[in-house]
Amino acid sequence: MSMIHPTAIVEEGAQIAEGVEIGPYAYVGPDVTIGSGTRIGSHARIEGWTTIGRDNRIFSHAVLGSIPQDLKYHGERTRLVIGDRNTIREFTLLNPGTEGGGGITRIGDDNLLMGYVHVAHDVQIGNHCILANAATLAGHVILGDFVVIGGMTPIHQFVRIGDHAMIAGASALSQDIPPYCLAEGNRAQVRGLNLTGLRRRFERETIDTLKRAYRTLFEGETAITDAARTLLENTDDPHVEKLCRFILESKRGIPYKRKHHVA
């Protein structure tokens, strides 16, 4: 049985599963779908064509599904889709997609979005990501899995960030960051591998292989795209392949300087 506070407003047409909790003065619009076990805090607002999965925790004053902050949006039916077991903290703002960007903003499973995070239109976020306080994702940004974005960090529109990458707090990112890498600064540049994250999830042998690949790509004398093509032709390691393919497919370029040391 769902538990809906008497002061909450749930519009006719909203689909609320069993076990959903909706707190005082929250608002749920008529085109919203909420999966079982999800808890919605007081004064949260969920509107638009928004679908939320199971066992999410949405804290007070979060706003999910309000129209995109994009002048090209003219009221078309676009969506915000949120997976399972996400934690969405106070005063977050998540916008749906736009017709020109595919029509869907999508957030995967098991993510943590801290206070005042903004996820703009047509953003795609994978699984197990952490966005610290006031991180800001502009339109069309793509995050892989296990990505960490530090607090107060803006990400430029159309930027891609690969799996297991980390962007330090108070950085400003305008280009793509490959998987497994650490970037920081304004403007942010690749500084090395995200060794802390890698040590939590990979064996030493895999990390050593990625270190060798990193040195070839970022510390050698060969242009990064040429080095990536050569590595791709001569490796059977799936992580190195992912790293090289990301670099070769980048449209915004990879921000880096030569001779960064990997500990």
Which residues does the annotation mark as catalytic? 121-122, 139
Which region holds residue 24: left if phi is over 0, alpha if psi is between -120 and 50, else beta?
beta
Residue among 45, 37, 40, 46 nearest 19 (CA): 37
Q: Which amino acid is at 71?
A: L
d(CA 206, CA 211): 9
d(CA 261, CA 44): 46
Strand order through the sheet with 93-94:
9-10, 27-28, 45-46, 63-64, 93-94, 118-119, 136-137, 154-155
d(CA 214, CA 228): 10
Those residues whose C-beta lies under 8 Å from the C-beta of residue 149, and which sit 6 or more positions away, are 129, 130, 131, 132, 135, 137, 143, 155, 161, 166, 167
Long-range contacts of 207-210 (CB under 8 A, 24+ apart): 209/237, 209/239, 209/240, 210/180, 210/239, 210/240, 210/243
